[in-house]
Amino acid sequence: MMDENKQINNTSQQLGEPTEVKQAMKSDSPAQINFNESGNEVTEQVTSQANVPGDAATINAETGVAATDNTGVETAALAELTQQIESLKTQLEERSTQYMRIAADFENYRKRTSKEKEELETLMKRNTILELLPVVDNFERARSHLKPQSDGEMTMHKSYQGVYKQLVDSLKRLGVSPMRPEGQEFDPNLHEAVMREPTDEHPEGTVLEELVRGYYLGERVLRHAMVKVAAPKEDTPSTEEDQSSQAFS
């Protein structure tokens, strides 16, 4: 064994190997050669690897805090937008209700003014026509009395009839129409009774004659008709009853 070590030393000296190698080769545990340096490198690598999770955890924590802050900002912004939307909805409903109310008020105002305008026009038309009706009455009276005999009178009569017809046509265009009450039952809403005539030929309350013509303006009464109405005939005592009453007197 000693001879082998000597041979190794001699060989090492001849090859010019360092003394540390010689000692290492002399030692009983060859696996320990240069392990200190390798161990230091491994230790540094392990330490650096051990430090990495701590840095990653710090980064993850900072990222989580930033994400939480972003989430809080987004939640606040969303809540503010939701509140603005609700406020706008409320304003829209109020404006819609106000618009509907104004529209209804305007429609009622339009109908009311239209009705008042129609009533005013009807009243003006009625008053104007009432002023013209006496003229029509005089035309009718004159026509009933005129009895032309000669050609000249007939010519005047035709001219008179032409003027009367023109006047009547104008009244018709304005919505005026005459009443025809003869033979109808007396109606106080349409007729004005100025005379009563006892008779057995017609039931009581029947219009016998129209003395002054009545007129309608559309569906309304323009002027009531003055009429003569049938009345029940009074019973007169017979001749025999008169004689008997005279005998006992």
Note the pLDDT tens digit of each residue in 169-224.
999 998 999 999 998 899 999 999 999 989 888 888 899 999 999 999 988 899 99
Pairwise CA distance, residues 211 & 102, whole Å: 55
Mean pLDDT across the stretch 1-11?
48
Mean pLDDT across the stretch 152-177?
88
* pLDDT greater at residue 3 or residue 65: 65
**What pLDDT digit, counting tens, does each position of 10-63 carry?**
544 444 444 444 444 444 444 343 434 444 443 444 344 444 444 555 555 556
**What pLDDT digit, counting tens, does each position of 59-87 carry?**
555 565 566 767 878 888 888 899 999 99
In 3D space, the residue among 163, 172, 173 whose CA is nearest the CA of residue 142 turns out to be 163
Conformation bin of residue 148: beta by default, left when phi > 0, alpha when psi is -120 to 50:
beta
Q: Could you tell me the CA-to-CA distances from 83 to 69, 74, 89, 144, 161 in Å, in that order?
A: 21, 14, 10, 89, 85
